[in-house]
Amino acid sequence: MKHLHILVVDDKKVIGDFFNLTMGYYGHHITVVHDLPEAMEAVKNHQFDIAFMDMVMPDNDGVEVLKKIRAVSPGLPVVMMSGYSLDEKRKQARSLGAVECLKKPFEVDDIRRVVKDTIGQEI
C-alpha cells in the first residue's frame, strides 16, 4: 500500500488531530495547516495526493481558498468539509472541482470511502 500525502486545511486543531491520529496511524503523511497563507505555501512546496479543506474559516472562505489552490495545483483532488448547511457554497465548491463535501462530524470510514472513490486506494 502506497502511503499517501494528505493536506488538511482547517482552523480547528481537533480536525488536524483527527487526521493525524486516524490516517497517520496507517503511515500516511499528514500536513495540517490552519489558514490560506499556510495552505498556499504547502501546495506550492509539496505534492499531495488529496486535500481536505474546511469551508468556513475565520479569515477565509473555503471556496475562495479552493480557487487559489486550483490556480497552483489544478489536479489536486480536494474534499470540502463543513459543520454548517451551506448548499450554495457546496455548489460553488463542486463547480470548482471539489470531489466531495463532507458534513462534520464525520467518521474514519467516511474518509476511507472518499479516498477510495477519489484516488482508488484503500486506506
- 33-78 pLDDT, tens digit each: 998 899 999 999 999 999 999 988 888 888 888 999 999 999 999 9
Backbone angles phi, psi at 46, to 5 degrees: -140, 155
- The domain in which residue 14 lies consists of 5-118
pLDDT of residue 51: 97
Side chain identity at residue 96, one-letter code: L
Tell me whether residue 92 is in a domain: yes
| CATH at 62 | 3.40.50.2300
Structural domains in the chain (count):
1
Stated pTM of the model: 0.92
- Rg of the chain over Cα atoms, rounded to whole angstroms, equals 13
* Residue 73, pLDDT score: 94
User: For 1-21, what is each residue's pLDDT tens digit?
Assistant: 789 999 999 999 999 999 999
Tell me, yes or no, whether 123 lies in a domain. Answer: no
